[in-house]
Structure 1
Amino acid sequence: MVPDTDTLPDGIPAVDWQGRAIDCTNCPHRELRAAGRCTPGHACVADRYAKRIDRFFAWNPNVADTCLDHPYFEVRAVAAKHADLFLLPRLLGDPDETVRWSIAQRLPQRYLMQMRDDPDREVRIRVAARLEPAALKSMLDDPDYYVRTVIARRLPPGLLRMLQHDPDREVRVAVARRIDAEGLRGMAGDADPGVRLVVAQRLPAAQLPLLADDPDWRIRHEVAQRIEPSRLGSLLDDEDAAVREAARGRGNRVA
C-alpha cells in the first residue's frame, strides 16, 4: 500500500508517470520491497518523481540494465547512470534530451563524437565538456554561445585564435583569458570593454600603452596599476579621478 500524501516527507503524491496510483502488487521489482530495497513514496522505480527513481537505482544499481527501455524518460535517464556502459549506445537516438544528456556523461569518446550535433544545447554542452580537447575543433561553429564558451575554456591554446573574433562577448572573454601573448595583443582592440579588461589584466607591462587611452575608465585604471611608471603619461591627468589616483600613487612611489 502506498502512503498517503500527507505522510510523505516531501508531500509530493506518489503516482506513476501516467498519474495513476502506484500498485506494488504488479511491479516487476516487487520482491525488492520485501528485502527492504525499495519503499513506496521514497525509493520507487514506478514513481514519476525523479528523486525517488534516483534513490531506487542508488539502492539497486543492478536493476538498471533492465530499465533502459522503460517508457518513462526519467527512468531511462536515471538508469543510464548505473547501467552497463556497453548498453548505453542504444540510447544515442533516444527521443528525450534528458536521457541523451545522461549518457553523454558516461559514453566513451568515440560515441561522444556522434553527439556533437545533438539538437539539444544541454547535451552539446556536456559533450563539449567531456570531448578530448584536440577533438573540440570540430565544434567551433556550434550555434549556441555557451557551447562555444565551454570549447574556448578547453581548446588547446594554439587553436584559440579561431575563436578570438567570435560574435559573442562571453566566448571572446574566455579566449582572452587563455590565448597566447601574440593573440592577446591582437584582442586589445576588441569592441567589448569586458574583453579588453581581461586583455589589460594579462598583457605584459611593456605592451600596456596599447590600452592607455582606452575609452573605458576601468581599463585605464587597470593599465595605471600595471604599466611601467615611466610610461604613465596622460594617465597622471586622466579625466577619471580613480585612474588619476592610481597613476599618481605609482608615480609618487617611484619618485
Structure 2
Amino acid sequence: MDPADFYTGIVAEIYGPLKSHSQDPEPYADFVRSTGTPALELGCGDGDPLLELRRRGLDVDGVDSSPDMLARLRHRADEQGLPVTVFHQRMEALDLPRRYRSIFLAGPTFTLLPDDATALAALRAIRAHLTDDGTALVPLFTPEPTPADQIGHVRTTTAPDGAELRVSVVSERRDEQARTQTALLRYERHHGPDTDTVDRPWLLHWYPRATFGHLAGTAGLTVTAVTTPNGEPAPADATHFHVHLRPATLS
C-alpha cells in the first residue's frame, strides 16, 4: 500500500490548523465574491473548499503539489457532477495559462514552505498570476511547540476499510532564529495481520509580520490589511492571521 494513502488522511489530526477535513467555505466564498473572478486556490488538496465554491457557480481553479490529493479531488468532483480545472504544480513554481483577480490559500499551508527563499519565490509567482487589480489572501500562523507530554502520544482514527490509523510525534526540533519547527511524525496502518509504518518530517516555517511584509514587497506586492480569520483587524500579538496583498503598483 502507498504510505501516502494514510499519511494524507490523518495529518490533520496533528496539524489541523493547516487545513481541516471540513474547511468552512464561507470566508473564501466571501473573499472571491468581493475581489472578483477568476480565482485560484493554492494548495487545494482534495477539494475543500474548492468544490463548494464551484457548486456555487464561482469560477475557481485549483493547484496542488500532491498528485494523490488531486486524484481525490477529481474523484469527488466526478461524483458530484462538478466541472473543475486543477493543476499539479508547486506554488513557488506556478506556470498557469491565465491570471486571476483572486488568489487564496484555505488555511496557513504557506507555512509548509521551508525557508524565506522559497516563500519569496511563491510570492513572486502569486504576483505574476494576479491581474493588476487582483488581491491575494495568505493565512499565516505561528506554531506552538508540542508539549513534552505529547511527544510519543499516539492518536488513532479508523479508515473507511476498517484499518486502524495511528499517528504520533516521535521528536521535535525548534529553531527560533530560522523560524522553523520540525516534527518527526510516525504513521502506522494496522489492518488484520498487516502493519505499515512510515516516519516523515513535518517542517513548519513561520513569519513575523514585518518579515512577511518585506518578502511581499520584494515580490512586488503590498500588504493592504492583516485580519483575523473572521475578518476583523488582527492584534499585533495574533498567532493566526490573514494577510491581504495587492500588486504594489496599485498602492
TM-score range, shorter chain: under 0.3
Q: Which has the higher helix share?
A: 1
Q: Which has the higher strand share?
A: 2
Name which structure has the greater RCO, CA cutoff 8 Å, separation 6+.
2
TM-score (norm 2): 0.23
TM-score (norm 1): 0.23
Larger radius of gyration: 1
